[in-house]
Amino acid sequence: MPTSTFYHLPEQKRQKLIDAIRQEILRVPYEKISINKIIQNAGIPRGSFYQYFVDKNDMFQMILGDFHKKMEDISKESLRKHNGDPFALTQDIFDLVCQISQRTDLYLLYQNLLSGMKVKDERASYLPFFLPQERGREMISFIDLSRLDLRQENDLFDCADILASLLKWAIVELFAEPARKAEISASFQNKIAILRRGMDPKQEETGC
């Protein structure tokens, strides 16, 4: 994350640098980001950049952190709106991604964010639309647990993993083939409905 020097910059200068970073992420994928281009657009010396960030990845984490904060706010608002319904939250996030996929500027920005996460983490275990684990755990208090059939200690986190996995694949499909938005959206909604009602109504608790 940025150094304290960055946060002590005058607000106008700090915002100009942030805008320059976002412009560069919008322009090219992570591996092609040019520090020279950023400092040129921000109007700062190269040495100053490294007073603010350790390296390119440090800079990238700041932008990703800002996005995670926005996603956290959106998630909390969705859960308030839907009375703690995690299924509705999952649908709301997907709907947001659908909107992004229809805007060329945002589509390119988040495509490049995703490419950066893949470069940094070969597992690519999460997308920019998902909160880091520590923030995700903070969301528990906003969820109405009575909406879930929780029987074991880890059931809540396993349920979250299932919903997140479903959402991840839908997002990957949407970004790969935005022209199939209607088909992908209908399939996603049906899968959410199946999870909400349960796949085996005759299943009784067996301890398995």
Q: Which domain holds residue 149?
A: 83-197
Evaluate if pTM is beyond 0.85: no
Answer whether residue 4 is part of any domain.
no
Q: Is residue 125 situated within a structural domain?
A: yes
CB-based burial label for 88 (10 Å; 0-12, 13-18, 19+): middle
In a domain, 102, yes or no: yes
User: Is 177 part of any domain?
Assistant: yes
Count of structural domains, the chain: 1
Q: How far apart are CA 66 and CA 73, in angstroms?
A: 11
What SS3 class is residue 180? Answer: helix
Share of the chain above pLDDT 70, in %: 80
Q: How does pLDDT run across 114-123, given as a tens digit for each residue?
A: 665 554 443 3
> Is residue 157 domain-resident?
yes
Question: Is there a contact between 148 and 156 (Cβ–Cβ < 8 Å)?
Answer: yes
The tokens for 82 are 């839907």
Whether 145 maps to a domain, the answer reads: yes
Two tokens at 118? 């893949």
Render pLDDT for 13-66 as a digit per residue (tens, 0 to 9). 999 999 999 899 888 888 888 999 999 999 999 999 999 999 888 888 888 788
In a domain, 144, yes or no: yes
At how many degrees (to 10) do helices 86-101 and 56-81 cross? 130
